[in-house]
């Protein structure tokens, strides 16, 4: 049996019609060729714009995505899996880096600096292990059904009670939760508990905080300088591996990614050879 470092690493991503240009022009041209397979799930029902978080179409795609991930964990049992959003520009190879991280960790996430859901599910590596499959079956998939509910349906189902959210939320690797997760200014939660799950990131972060399956996972985060989501050329490290266009939507997202691809990337790398125009 292969050690974790030598395991195959498969990439999966979810695409809708609105993401075709981003996929063709930026994601596919820069994704390294080092992975053992790349599998796309095409959600044809959605009309959601790129980055349209919390909209009904966006949440439906997120629901389908979580269930697709679970099916691929079965298909690649014993291997490693990398779940990617399509709004990423890649600069360097990183397969070995992830496989090293997965030797000691069940899951590895990009750190999200945009809100309290600090595990970014748009860059999410995991072992296809029984432990992780149990986590999906017991914690993630049951919560995913909330993504198909309106805010009113969600609150009605709860009967005014918070669903898996309490004032005493604690987690060893996420101390920020205990301090401000219940702030009324947080877009996903209020002082009485959950208003609704705005997307798959809310579902997964809530699941990670659960005392049995979530707390038993050994979770790690990637270096924020190397795996960046900060749209600022001055903040980009020379060691940057990728840029993830978090926090923008629609044409703005596409424009940010193009600027990184054609201008900032060349300055960071020192030439344009890294770009694969006709891959």
Tens of pLDDT, residue by residue, the chain (279 residues): 455 568 999 999 999 888 899 999 999 999 999 999 999 999 886 666 655 666 778 888 999 999 999 999 999 999 999 999 999 999 989 999 999 999 999 999 998 876 556 889 999 999 999 999 999 999 999 888 888 877 677 666 655 444 443 332 232 223 333 223 322 233 443 333 334 467 888 888 888 887 788 888 999 998 877 777 666 666 677 788 888 988 777 788 888 899 889 888 888 777 887 777 654
Which is nearest to 15 in space by CA: 50, 52, 40, 45? 40
Question: Collapsing DSSP states into helix, strand and coil, what is residue 242?
Answer: strand
Contact 125, 80 (CB under 8 A): yes
Contact 102, 94 (CB under 8 A): no
For residue 108, CA distances in Å to 78, 127, 207 come to 16, 9, 15
**For residue 208, how many other CB atoms are within 10 A of its CB?**
24
> Which pLDDT belongs to residue 180?
32
CA triple 198-65-155, angle to 5 deg: 30
Which is nearest to 246 in space by CA: 122, 72, 117? 122
Whether this prediction's pTM lies above 0.85 is answered by: no
> Which pLDDT belongs to residue 249?
74
Contact 95, 105 (CB under 8 A): no
Which is nearest to 274 in space by CA: 91, 112, 133? 91
Strand partners, 224: none
User: What is the b/e burial string over 128-154, where b = at least 16 CB atoms within 10 angstroms of the residue's CB?
Assistant: bbeebbebbeebbbebbebbebeeeeb
């Amino acid at each position: 049996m292969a050690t974790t470092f030598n395991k195959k690493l498969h990439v999966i991503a979810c695409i809708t019609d609105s993401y075709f240009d981003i996929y063709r022009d930026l994601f596919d041209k820069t994704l390294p060729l080092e992975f053992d397979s790349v599998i796309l799930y095409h959600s044809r029902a959605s009309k959601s714009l790129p980055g349209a978080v919390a909209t009904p179409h966006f949440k439906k795609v997120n629901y389908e995505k979580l269930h697709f991930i679970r099916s691929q964990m079965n298909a690649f049992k014993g291997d490693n899996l990398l779940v990617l959003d399509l709004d990423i520009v890649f600069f360097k190879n990183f397969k070995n880096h992830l496989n090293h991280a997965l030797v000691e960790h069940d899951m590895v996430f990009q750190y999200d600096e945009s809100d309290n859901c600090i595990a970014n599910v748009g860059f999410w590596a995991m072992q296809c292990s029984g432990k992780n499959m149990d986590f999906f079956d017991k914690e993630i998939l049951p919560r995913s059904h909330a993504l198909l509910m309106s805010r009113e349906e969600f609150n009605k189902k709860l009967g005014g009670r918070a669903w898996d959210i309490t004032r005493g939320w604690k987690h060893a690797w996420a101390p920020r939760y205990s301090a401000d997760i219940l702030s009324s200014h947080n877009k996903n939660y209020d002082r009485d508990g959950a208003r609704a799950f705005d997307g798959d990131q809310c579902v997964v972060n809530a699941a990670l905080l659960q005392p049995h399956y979530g707390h038993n996972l050994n979770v790690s985060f990637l270096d924020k300088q190397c795996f960046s989501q900060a749209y600022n050329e001055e903040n980009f490290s020379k060691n940057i591996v990728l840029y993830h266009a978090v926090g923008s939507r629609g044409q703005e997202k596409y424009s940010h990614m193009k600027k990184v691809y054609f201008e900032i990337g060349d300055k960071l790398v020192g030439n344009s050879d890294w770009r694969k125009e006709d891959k």
